[in-house]
Structure 1
Amino acid sequence: MIYKFGEKSINRLGVSAQYGGLYNLDTEKTGDHHGIALHYERNWGRWNLKAQAMNVAHNPENLPGESRETLQMGAYGFPYSIAADFNIYSLAVSRNIPVELGPISNLQFYNDFGYMDKKVDRFEDSFMNVTGVLITAGQLYTYIDYAADITIPGWEAILWMILQREIPMLNGKRDLISILVTISKQ
């Protein structure tokens, strides 16, 4: 649900909710998961600001004695665990700069910060900051990112498998520079 308001700037305030089943292959039973989020977006001129707070909980139907504090996930053939219950807070700011550089019509510079507050105290909270530029050229959208201070368990191993090489260490953290190209029909 989104509420739009404002004359000089466009404001959007919204609430999102999700509820669903969480099937366990081992027990063949279905638990549940739910999430609720409050989000705000403001556009004024070429600037954009986004903020979000989210609460997520998973209630798996695990085998007796198996922890319900984590969930097993997988990507690119590699399993990893995540916290089952957490809050996420994010803040993003961006600025569009129209350009005429051959097929390139717009550059959107952005910075996105996210914080995951895990409900189990002994789990390390996660932080991520992504700074980059979105290059628009007709129907081709290219993101060039720098993701720093990745403290998300499992991501380092997944990224290593994707890149098939070591990720350089900067400031004692694993950092990543990524390039994502999206082709879209609008």
Structure 2
Amino acid sequence: MKERAGQRVGVTVGAGTATGVAMVLLGMEPRLALVGCVVVAVSATVWLLVDLANVVSPVFWHNYGTVANTSARSDRSVQMLQTRLRTPARRRRRTAVLEHGRADPADEITVTLLDVIEDHLVTEHGIDMLLDPHAAAEALGPELTRFVTDSTSRRSMAQPRTLARTLTLIEDFSDQKHLA
């Protein structure tokens, strides 16, 4: 450590001396004290940046937030949702849910979540939401029923700050049949 500090002081003194001599030879009539202060400030900044470059690692934003959750249950509905989110081009669209023809990512998420809920209702409970809305509401519970039936609730429950809660509700709903 002391060796590196000695090298840095030597380089700074050498750079200051070379700058001062060059300015005197070029006839600039430098103020050597001012030149010395500038050289010390510049070299301190350079050494700080060199030290930081050795310590700091780059941030890869394309992988931000994609750490695998190893504690997650391997549920068929969750796997289907993950597959649909990874391959949006293959996903079928429910045009009744997309309001005013917008292709907003939040709309794609709600369409996928509604498909997961509907698939689970049919396969695990034998309930079709369109044919028996009361039985579907009873199986889903009040919060998921609001998500399925009310477009305002659906939009707010699909926002980034509330989406985790909505996914937890759907996971809990899909686990009900297995626990019973």
Question: Shared topology, TM-score over 0.5?
Answer: no
Which protein has the larger Cα radius of gyration, Structure 1 or Structure 2?
A: 2
More strand by share: 1
More helix by share: 2
TM-score, length of structure 1 as denominator length:
0.19
